[in-house]
Each structure stands twice: as structure tokens, then as C-alpha cells.
């Protein structure tokens, strides 16, 4: 403490939250860094010490007030930099909390339970580019889809569309919930991944909207939802490991759905159905690209992950062995969509097209598995074990 008495400041009934802090700052400046503060506001006894701590000033009760000394506390002692702005660190400690990447984090900040905090398991160099693409490619269902386009297909064709839309709604709901389960566990240090997952969830929400609207365009009720189909999707939702869930959903399921949506687009009985299938496929392609990108990086750094991914396919296959897989109504709806008529030749052509769709899905899965480092024979075996429900 200085040899001379500190300058005094009387706040009367002025609270710090009413501008009193400006008088304290001025008093410290004019008084050489020491000040005896008095005040009658009800909150000053709480607000003044807290204000001083936040600014690194010492504050102690004295002579009916508080003795404030400027710059006595270094609140940034022990602070650490939350990595570099340009690129994520190998690991993001819980003590960084919600701090932006590259920020100086004050010691004592609250920690959060954000377990997805390792670059090896989370990161993809393509994340920022895919996020930028996703933001630029957002589309408005009200204007992007020709809801009023004419439709002259027969009632049975509309029933087939409604059943397909019902099936798509169910699967896209699962595709929304799976990343949503993990989003709140991602450390914000990996902000590009966090943002990309958020847009992916928004994509799926939009898909659920447009598929529901299309199903209800000319019908009052939706189609069938089977126990087997829901059992298949439940295995995705229940998977606790981010890498495995991403693999099963994005690389295998949504990858297969790219072929399915292309099939619906090509055989749609009206422009409205074709447009929504085309737009949804554009979104799903980004989801698949991110899944492949971050899993390629992960298996490069942890080759043993391939064994875990293979085991996950086998485990899921065994869990679903007792289910019926794709319901017959969905399969028949696809046949009718491709047939476009009821003549025997039409139905034969439609059935052949669906068989070719299944083959195309299998070929796509095998190619993606090979890109993750699986041998071609292993890729073929694992692809054949993928759920008959497609997703």
C-alpha cells in the first residue's frame, strides 16, 4: 500500500451496472492506480469485487468501502492458446471449452464433456470445402420443386410413389438423428466438422419435409412402415462409435441411397418427384463425400480401424438376420415405377431395372470400401452383408 492515503470516490447510490464503473476507472487513472471506493447501491458489494477481478485489480474492504489497487492480479497467468486458427490440433483438451480455435483461453474456464476431440477420429481436410459447398447449395422446397407440375399417371402409380416416399421419410429421419446424436459431442475446435454436420442435419430435415409433402400431394395417408425396416435403422441409431456410425450411415447406407434416388429420378412418373429426388441426391453426395474423407484419414492413421469397420458390418448383419429386410411393398413400388405400365413386357423390364439397381448399389459399396483400403475380395464379401433395407 502507498505511504499516502488513496484518493477517494463516493458513488452514492450509483450502481456499477449504471455507469459507476466509469467513475472507478477514472478514479484509478487520476489517483495513480489506488482508490478508496464507497457507495450505497445495494449491489455494489457484489459488483465491485467481481468487476475488479475481471480487470485484474485487487479489491479489499477498507474504511467503510473498498480499497482498489489497479493491476495487482494477472488474470491471464496460466492462460493457453487453443491451437492455431488455420488448422486443428491433434487433440482439443476439455479445458478449452467453447473457445474459438486460436483464442487465448483464460485459466479456470469451465470444462465441457465434448469427447469427440481428436483430429485423428474427427478431421477431414475437405471439411471446409464441403461446408462451403453445402451452404452454397441449399435449396428452398417452396421454389425449387414444381409442386404444381401435371401428373397423368394412374392411381396405382401414385400409390407406388406414396409407398416410396413413406420409406424415404423413415430412412431420412434416421439419417437426421444419427449425426444429431454426435453433433453435441464434437469439440468446437473442429468447427468445420461441427458446421458440416449441422448442415447435414438441416439437409435431412428438408428431405423429410419434401418427401412428406410429395406423399400427401394426392393422398390423405402414407404407406407402410415395417418392423424389419425399423429394426435395420435402429442399429444405426444405437451405434455409439462416431467412426462406425459414419461408416454404416454415410459410406454404406447413404452411398446406396445415391443409387436409389437416381433410380427414382430417372423413373419418376412426374416432374415433381424427379426434381425432389435429384435435389436430395445432391445433398446426399456431400454426406457420402465427408464420410469417405474423414474415414480415409482415420484408417490411414489407424489401420486397425478397418477391422473394426468390417466387424461392425458383420455384427449388424447378424443382428438383422431374423428380419425381412426391404419390405415387399417398397420393392414392388420400385418395379412399378420402372415398368410404367401393366403389360407383361413392362413389368419384366421394371423388375430387371430393380435387379440392376441392387447390383449398382453393391458395385458402389464395393468401390467405396476399396477406397478405404479394403481388398477387393473383402469389399465384395462385406458389401454382400449390407442390410437388405439399403440404408
Angle ∠(377,382,383) on CA atoms, nearest 5: 100
Quick one: how far is CA 164 from the chain centroid?
Answer: 26
CA gyration radius for the chain? 30
Close Cβ partners of 26 (under 8 Å, ≥ 6 residues apart): none
Angle ∠(234,240,242) on CA atoms, nearest 5: 110
> What is the predicted pLDDT for the residue at 1?
47
CA distance 163 to 157: 10
CA distance 390 to 339: 21
> What is the predicted pLDDT for the residue at 2?
54
Tell me the DSSP string of 34-69: EEEEE---TTHHHHHHHHHHHHT-EEEEETTEEEEE
CA distance 142 to 236: 31
Q: Does residue 105 sit in helix, strand or coil? A: strand
> What is the predicted pLDDT for the residue at 3?
60
C-alpha cell at 294: 474423414
Q: Mean pLDDT for each consecutive 10-residue tract of the chain (391 residues)?
A: 78 95 94 94 94 89 92 81 96 95 90 94 95 97 97 94 98 97 96 97 98 97 94 94 97 97 98 98 97 96 97 96 86 96 96 97 98 98 95 92
Q: Does residue 101 sit in helix, strand or coil? A: coil
118 forms beta bridges with 91
Strand intervals (E) in the chain: 7-10, 34-38, 58-62, 65-69, 80-81, 104-105
**Region of residue 331 (phi > 0: left; psi between -120 and 50: alpha; otherwise: beta):** alpha
Angle at which helix 271-301 crosses helix 255-267, to 10 degrees, equals 160
Angle at which helix 328-339 crosses helix 255-267, to 10 degrees, equals 40
pTM: 0.84
Handedness of CA 123, 124, 126, 132 (dihedral sign): negative
Sorted by where each starts, the structural domains of the chain and their CATH numbers stand as 7-69 (3.30.110.40), 76-112 (no CATH), 119-384 (1.10.620.20)
Closest C-alpha among 124, 287, 103, 277 to residue 192:
124
Amino acid at each position: 500500500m502507498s505511504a499516502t492515503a488513496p484518493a477517494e470516490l463516493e458513488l452514492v447510490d450509483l450502481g456499477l451496472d449504471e455507469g459507476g464503473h466509469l467513475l472507478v476507472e477514472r478514479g484509478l487513472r487520476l489517483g495513480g492506480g489506488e482508490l478508496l471506493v464507497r457507495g450505497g447501491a445495494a449491489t455494489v458489494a457484489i459488483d465491485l469485487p467481481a468487476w475488479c477481478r475481471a480487470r485484474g485489480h485487487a479489491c479489499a474492504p477498507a474504511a467503510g468501502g473498498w480499497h482498489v489497487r489497479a493491476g495487482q492480479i494477472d488474470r491471464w497467468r496460466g492462460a493457453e492458446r487453443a491451437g492455431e486458427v488455420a488448422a486443428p490440433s491433434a487433440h482439443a483438451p476439455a479445458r478449452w471449452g467453447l473457445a474459438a480455435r486460436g483464442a487465448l483461453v483464460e485459466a479456470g474456464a469451465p470444462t465441457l464433456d465434448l469427447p469427440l476431440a481428436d483430429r485423428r477420429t474427427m478431421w477431414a481436410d475437405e471439411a471446409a470445402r464441403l461446408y462451403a459447398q453445402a451452404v452454397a447449395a441449399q435449396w428452398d422446397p417452396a421454389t425449387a420443386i414444381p409442386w404444381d407440375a401435371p401428373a397423368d399417371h394412374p392411381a396405382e402409380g401414385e400409390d407406388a410413389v406414396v409407398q416410396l416416399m413413406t420409406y424415404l421419410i423413415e430412412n431420412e429421419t434416421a439419417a437426421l438423428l444419427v449425426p444429431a446424436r454426435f453433433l453435441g459431442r464434437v469439440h468446437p475446435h473442429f468447427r468445420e466438422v461441427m458446421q458440416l454436420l449441422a448442415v447435414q442435419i438441416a439437409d435431412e430435415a428438408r428431405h423429410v419435409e419434401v418427401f412428406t409433402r410429395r406423399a400427401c400431394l394426392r393422398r390423405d395417408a402414407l404407406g407402410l412402415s415395417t418392423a424389419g425396416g425399423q429394426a435395420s435403422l435402429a442399429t444405426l441409431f444405437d451405434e455409439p462409435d462416431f467412426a462406425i456410425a459414419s461408416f454404416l450411415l454415410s459410406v454404406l447406407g447413404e452411398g446406396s441411397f445415391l443409387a436409389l434416388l437416381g433410380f427414382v429420378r430417372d423413373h419418376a412418373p412426374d416432374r415433381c418427384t424427379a426434381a425432389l429426388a435429384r435435389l436430395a441426391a445432391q445433398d446426399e453426395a456431400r454426406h457420402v463425400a465427408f464420410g469417405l474423407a474423414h474415414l480415409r484419414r482415420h484408417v490411414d492413421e489407424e489401420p486397425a480401424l478397418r477391422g473394426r469397420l468390417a466387424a461392425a458390418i458383420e455384427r449388424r448383419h447378424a443382428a438383422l438376420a431374423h428380419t425381412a429386410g426391404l419390405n415387399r411393398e417398397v420393392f414392388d413400388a420400385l418395379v412399378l415405377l420402372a415398368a410404367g405400365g401393366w403389360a407383361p413386357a413392362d413389368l419384366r423390364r421394371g423388375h430387371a431395372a430393380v435387379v440392376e439397381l441392387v447390383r449398382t448399389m453393391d458395385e458402389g459399396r464395393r468401390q467405396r470400401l476399396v477406397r478405404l483400403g479394403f481388398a477387393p475380395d473383402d469389399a465384395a464379401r462385406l458389401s454382400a452383408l449390407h442390410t437388405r433395407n439399403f440404408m
